[in-house]
Chains A and B, each alone.
Chain A
Amino acid sequence: MSAREASSLPLPHQGLVATVGLVAVVLAWLGNASGSPLPTEQRDFAGGLAIGMALGFVLMLAVRNIPMLRERALLARSDAVVTAAHRQYLREFLPAMGTYVLAVFASLLLLKHIDAPATRALVALLPVLPIGFALRAIMRYVRNVDEMQQRIELESIAFATAFVSLAYLAGGFLQLARVIDLHAGTAMTMVFPLVCGVYGIAKRVVARRFR
C-alpha cells in the first residue's frame, strides 16, 4: 500500500452518493410532506427509511471529517492487511447483506397481503436465508485467516456471546418480574445484531492485547 493511499480514505462513487442522497430526499418528502401522495399509514415507512439513510450519511461525513474518527479509520485501514481471505469474505458477505435488505422489504410487503399461517411463516422467514449465507461467509473467513487472527476472532465471538447471553438472562428475569416490558419479537431478532455489535467492540480490545 503506497503512502498516498494510506493517508486518504477511499471516496465512494460520486454518482452513487448523489443517487442515494436523492432517493433519501424523495423518501423524506414522501414520508413527511403534507402533499405526499402516499396514504397516511404508509408514510411512517418512507419516513423511517429516510431517517435511516440520513443517519448513514451523517456517520459517513463524521468519519471523513472529524479528525479523531478520521485518524482511527485511517489507522484501521493501514493496519488491516487486505488478505485474500478478507477479499473473499467481502465478496460473499456484501451480496448476502444486499439480498437481505431486499428480502426484508419483500417479506414486509408480502406479509400485509397473506393470511394463511403456513405461508406467513414461509414469507416471514425469507430474510433468514441471506443471513444464513452471511454466516457461511463469516465461518469461511474465520477458517481461512491466519492462526493469530483466528484466535482474535474466536475469542471476540466467545466474549460477545457470553456478554449477550448474560444480558438476556438478566433481561429475562426482569421481564418475568414485570420490571421491564419488551416485545418478544424485537427481543428475539435483536440477539444477532447485538452479538455482532459487542463482537466488533470486543475485537478491538482483544486485537490490541495481541499486538
Chain B
Amino acid sequence: MDAAERELLQATIGDALAAVDADQPDAVDAVLADLGWIEMLDTARADAVPIVFRALGTTNAMGSALDDVIVAAFGLEPRADLAVVLPPFATWDPPGSGADGSARGLATSRVNSARQLLVVSGDGADLRGAAVPIAAADIQVVRGVDPDAGLHTVQLDLAIAGSEPLPVGADWEAAVAWGRVAVSHQIAGACRTMLELARTHALERVQFGRPIAHFQAVRHRLATALVAVEALDASLAAAVDDPGPMTAALAKACAGRTAGTVAEHCQQILAGIGFTTDHPFHRFLKRTMVLDGLLGSGTEITVALGRQLLTTRRVPTLIDL
C-alpha cells in the first residue's frame, strides 16, 4: 500500500469502528469482515495489522481479530469457527506445554462462535498444532478488571479424541511476534485516546479562573505522556519495518511501559472525573491493563530481553539508517 491507500484504510476502519458498539465483539468482528480484513491479512499484512489494531485501541473495541493474526502467521487460513488458545496472562510459551499433557491459556470472544480450538504445544522443531473440538475444553468467562474485553480462560487435556493435527511449522516465535505487533498497536491506540481525553479535559476544566492547561505542571505531564506515546510509535514502526522476534518484543515491552506512563499522567490530570465510570477514561485504562498481559507483559518481556543481553553479552542495534 502507498501512503494515500494507508490513510484511506485508516479513515475507513476508524470511522466504521467508531460507529459500532465497542463492547459487542460480534459487531466489531462483523465490521472488520465487511471491510475485507481477512483478505488484507493475506495480501497486505504489514499495513493492515497496524491500522486495524490501532483503530481497535483508539475506539476501545476488542473483537477477536487477534485470533486471525495468529492463525495467519502460522500460514493457515483464518476462519470464524477456529479460536486460538493464547498463552496464560503475561507469558508467551506455547500454551500446550504443560508437563501433564494439559493445555492452559486465554482465549478471545472467538470461543463463543468457534467449533474448534487451535492449540500449540511443544517447542522449537518439535512444535505441534492441533485443532481440538471446543466442547472438549473447560472454558470460563473472565470478568476481571475489564469484563468487556471478552477474555476467557481455557483448560484442556491434549490427548483428546477428535483432535486433528494442524501444520504450524516451527514458527511459534513468528506467530508471537505478529501477535505482539498487533496488541502493541492496540495499546498505542488506547494511549492516544487517553492522552486526547486528558488534553481535552485540561483545556475545558477551569480552576483558579483559567483552564488548567495553562498550568505548567499539567502541561508537563501531558508532554511527558506524548513523548512516551511517540517513542512507542517509533518502536512499533521499527517492528513493522524490520520484522522479527526481537523488534516485536521490544515494541511490546515499550507498549507496556508506555501504557503505564500515559495512564498515570492522564489519570492525574482527569482527577475526579477520571476516577468515575461516567467518563470513558477508565475503559481505556482497564483495557491496556489486560492487553499488556497478552503474549507477555511489558515487565516479563523486559526481563527476558535483559537476560538475553546478559547471555550473549551483546546489545544488537537491530535497525540502521
Chain B binds chain A: no
